Every structure is written in structure tokens, then in C-alpha cells.
Amino acid sequence: MSQKHHTEGCQVTWPRRFYDCTLNEKLLYSSFLLLAGLAYLMALAYLYTSYNGIDGKPGLSVEDVAENYYGNRSGTRLESALRGPMSGYIDTEHRNHVIEWLKSGTSEADYERIIKPIFAERCVMCHSAASGLKIPDLSSYEGIKQVANVDTGVSLHSLMKVSHIHLFGIALVALGIGLVFRFALLPDWFQCTLTLLPFIAIFVDIAAWFLTKWDPIYAYTVIIAGGLLGLSWALQILISLYQIWFLRCRMTIESGGTG
């Protein structure tokens, strides 16, 4: 007989399972899990729309993640424009002058001497306040500097802001989902691993954001850890929802670890 009694003190207590929960508890847990799952899907959609195509190609890729945190150090917006959409407005020789100037540190003296005449002739008709277009103003040195800085990705400051919000938020959500999931009837090792996984994953994920700023190779870690977070939450939520509504107490089922 495995009649379950809740006993006080240090006598052996059976862990409660979902089938021990009242209807009220089951409704509470189910609603929380469903909303948390929805929130997670929303976060994924948001992530996709904000990362998608940073590197100029559609779809979310390792390059997008790397470029978000590390930036595109090999070039500037100006260089990308000159090699890409604006290439039709300039010939190769003049383009090389501009790119050399970018690589050599964008001195103001060289700007006046070499760059200003090129831009005045080829770019300023569109790229000035007078044109009324909402595009970078390239009629002055200051204007050009705006698009001539090396792209080093998201700033450390905003990374710290997003990190602490994520750490607080995700720790609480992981606690919430984990508190419900502890009622699941599963082998101890599996349940413990799955409970810990979101905490480890978010720690590794956020550490990898900072590492990716340093070396873009860690973009893989960001993606793998993010994927593990999603997978472990999906498993916790689906297993819990299933057991809440479908798992019946069978007298023959002995719970695994009763240490």
C-alpha cells in the first residue's frame, strides 16, 4: 500500500505529485504555464524580427547574432554603402580613395583635400539637408563621421542593461515554471537536470553575449544556450500540462527517489 500522508518533522514524506493537487491548483498551474509558454513564443518572434537580416541576408543566422554583438569590424556603414547600394554613384578609383581614407583614420585635413570634392560632385545632391531626403547628410565632415565609425556592435552599456533585466526576469520565470514542474512524476535525475537547465542556460547565454563582443565565435554559444533554454522550458511545460490533466495515481506506481 502506498497511501500518502503528509507528515511533519523529519519522517519520510512522499513528494506531492500533480494527481495530489486540488482542481484549483491544477487550474492555477495550467494557466500560468500556458501564459508563460505564450510569452516565450512572443519573445522568440520578437527576437526573430529584430535579428533577422542584420547581416543583409534574410533569416536568422549565426552571422546576425555575431554582427549584433561584435559588429562588422571590417567595415563602416559608409564602406558597405559604397560597395553596395551606392556603388552606382562612384567609380572605382574614387571609391578606393574614400576607402583608403576610412582605413587611414578619417583625418579632417585629408577630408578637405580629397574627400570633400568627391562627395560634393557625386553624393551631396541627395545627401544634404537641402535634398529633404531622410538619409545621412554627407555635406560636412561631421555628417560623414556619423557613417564612418567602425561598427562595433551593441554597446557594453546597453548590454548590461539588457543582461540584468533578463537575469532577473528569467530567474523568476524559471522559478515559477520549476515550482510547478516539481510535481511531475519522473526519474529524479531527469527531473533535477531539467529543473537546473534553464538557470544554467541563461547564465551561459548572457555570458556569451559579452564574450561575443570580444570574439564573434561565441555567437554559436549564444544560439546553443538560447536553444537549450527554450527546449528545457518546452519540456517542463509540456510534461507538466500532460501530467496535470492525464496522469492518474496508480497504486502500483512507486515514486523513484524517496530519500
Distance set, CA 62 to CA 29, 159, 196, 199, 207 (Å): 36, 18, 26, 23, 17
Nearer to ligand HEC among residue 85 and residue 259 (C-beta): 85
Instruction: Please report whether residue 90 would count as binding ligand HEC according to CB under 6 A.
Output: yes
Nearer to ligand HEC among residue 136 and residue 226 (C-beta): 136
Instruction: Please report whether residue 89 would count as binding ligand HEC according to CB under 6 A.
Output: yes
Distance set, CA 206 to CA 99, 132, 199 (Å): 35, 42, 11
Residue 106 grid coordinates: 578619417
DSSP symbol at 131: G
Cα torsion angle, 32, 35, 40, 41, sign: positive
Nearer to ligand HEC among residue 118 and residue 241 (C-beta): 118
Instruction: Please report whether residue 159 would count as binding ligand HEC according to CB under 6 A.
Output: no
- Among positions 108-137, residues that touch ligand HEC (CB under 6 A) are 122-123, 125-127, 133, 135-136
Instruction: Please report whether residue 42 would count as binding ligand HEC according to CB under 6 A.
Output: no
The residue count for binding ligand HEC (CB under 6 A) is: 18
**Amino acid letter for position 149:** N
- Integer Cα distance of 205 and 208 in angstroms: 5
**What is the CB neighbour count within 10 angstroms for residue 248?**
8
Nearer to ligand HEC among residue 9 and residue 85 (C-beta): 85
Instruction: Please report whether residue 77 would count as binding ligand HEC according to CB under 6 A.
Output: yes
Instruction: Report the nearest approach of ligand HEC to the CB of residue 214 (Å).
Output: 25
Cα torsion angle, 94, 100, 105, 108, sign: negative
Instruction: Please report whether residue 34 would count as binding ligand HEC according to CB under 6 A.
Output: no
| Interacting residues toward ligand HEC by CB under 6 A | 77-78, 81-82, 85-86, 89-90, 122-123, 125-127, 133, 135-136, 138, 147
